[in-house]
């Protein structure tokens, strides 16, 4: 089995990505490390714990950083709902994480399974950056890191040129992007191009009829409204699940290697992923940037995950 660590700021799309990994019989989720981002840390923890429980799995969930490295926390609750899960009345309280801090767990598990860990990041990169600051040599011990973040091509979703996860903690993103890990970036442009679900497509998934099929669609209630009104999409989009799909099966996607830098300024200069398409900086590429995904393969993977028994 492949060994995954999933770092998440668990809200509605993160939860779907967790379902995909937890329900895959070929993946051992060694740890779920939680960071503040979409919602405050305490809520993100409850959302992750609830999702693991719903899947009937025992993957350990660890509490991590409650704010970015240098900045104040700014959440995306206007996108995902106050509880991050669509505000549909789920019982998202009362569960306890595993003992230990996410940063220490990242260091421990990566060392224990050196060379065998696939790291999938679905939120701000605070936990991962702090682990790398403590032990820079960890970068060489990760088999591959898949990052939901940034923009490979096109526009942003929090400023005209920035995507939320990178914007939320750009200093952390810069540390990770410059760490030397083997990395693949799955930008928000991939999500709106290949992972948007209009009402009919959403109903097709929900009509599978399983509790998980209902869950992954119903928790997008707030996101659907935001995506249509603010992102001008046909329905909700799923950036974290399509990133997880690429991590599970890299063969469904295409890539190009680029140098990608992160800006750490303020205002419109905050959190931009600067993709050096023409190589004008003269710096060697360090990032595989996802350029396309097989939409049908992604949807099939999602449908299989909610169809498997828990």
Length in residues, the chain = 310
235-281: pLDDT as tens digits: 999 999 999 999 999 999 999 999 999 999 999 999 999 999 999 99
Q: What is the largest CA-CA distance in the chain?
A: 53
Q: Which pLDDT value is given to residue 140?
A: 98
* Domains along the sequence of the chain with CATH: 2-307 (3.90.245.10)
Distance CA 287, CA 9 (A): 23
Q: Which pLDDT value is given to residue 193?
A: 98
115-148: pLDDT as tens digits: 999 999 999 999 999 999 999 999 999 999 999 9
**SS3 assignment, position 68:** coil
Q: Which pLDDT value is given to residue 308?
A: 96
CB atoms near residue 283 (< 10 Å): 12
171-228: pLDDT as tens digits: 999 999 999 999 999 999 999 999 999 999 999 999 999 999 999 999 999 999 999 9
Q: What percent of the chain has pLDDT over 90?
A: 100
Could you give the C-alpha distances from 61 to 95, 108, 165, 290, in angstroms and in order? 10, 14, 20, 28
Question: CB of 264 within 8 A of CB of 272?
Answer: no
Distance of CA 182 to the CA centre of its chain: 17
Q: Which pLDDT value is given to residue 224?
A: 97
Could you give the C-alpha distances from 273 to 57, 194, 238, 262, in angstroms and in order? 35, 20, 20, 5
The band of 32, judged by pLDDT with boundaries at 50, 70 and 90, is very high
Q: What percent of the chain has pLDDT over 70?
A: 100
Q: What is the pTM of this model?
A: 0.98
Provide CB contacts within 8 A for 73, sequence distance 6+.
36, 37, 40, 66, 67, 168
Q: Which pLDDT value is given to residue 263?
A: 98
Question: CB of 297 within 8 A of CB of 252?
Answer: yes
Q: Which pLDDT value is given to residue 169?
A: 98
Mean per-residue pLDDT of the chain: 98
Q: Which pLDDT value is given to residue 221?
A: 98
């Amino acid at each position: 089995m492949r060994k995954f660590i999933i770092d998440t700021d668990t809200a509605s799309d993160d939860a779907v990505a967790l379902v995909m990994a937890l329900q895959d019989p070929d993946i051992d989720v060694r740890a779920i490390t939680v960071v503040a981002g979409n919602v405050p840390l305490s809520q993100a923890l409850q959302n992750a714990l609830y999702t693991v429980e719903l899947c009937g799995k025992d993957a350990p969930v660890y509490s991590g950083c409650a704010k970015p490295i240098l900045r104040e926390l700014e959440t995306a609750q206007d996108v995902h709902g106050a509880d991050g899960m669509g505000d549909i009345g789920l019982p998202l309280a009362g569960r306890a994480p595993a003992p230990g801090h996410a940063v220490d767990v990242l260091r421990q598990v990566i060392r224990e399974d050196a060379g065998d860990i696939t790291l999938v990041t679905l939120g701000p990169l605070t936990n991962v950056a702090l682990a790398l600051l403590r032990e820079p040599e960890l970068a060489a011990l990760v088999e591959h890191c898949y990052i939901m973040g940034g923009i490979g091509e096109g526009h942003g979703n929090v400023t005209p040129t920035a995507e939320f996860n990178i914007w939320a903690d750009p200093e952390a993103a810069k540390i990770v992007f410059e760490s030397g890990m083997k990395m693949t970036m799955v930008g928000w442009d991939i999500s709106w191009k290949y992972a948007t679900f209009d009402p009919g497509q959403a109903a097709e998934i929900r009509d599978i009829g399983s509790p998980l099929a209902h869950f992954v669609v119903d928790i997008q209630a707030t996101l659907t409204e935001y995506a249509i009104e603010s992102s001008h999409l046909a329905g909700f989009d799923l950036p974290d699940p399509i990133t997880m799909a690429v991590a599970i099966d890299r063969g469904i996607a295409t890539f190009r290697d680029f140098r990608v830098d992160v800006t750490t300024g303020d205002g419109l200069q905050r959190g931009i992923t600067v993709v050096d398409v023409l190589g004008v900086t003269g710096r060697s590429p360090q990032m595989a940037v996802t350029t396309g995904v097989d939409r049908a393969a992604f949807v099939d993977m999602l449908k299989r995950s909610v169809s498997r028994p828990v």
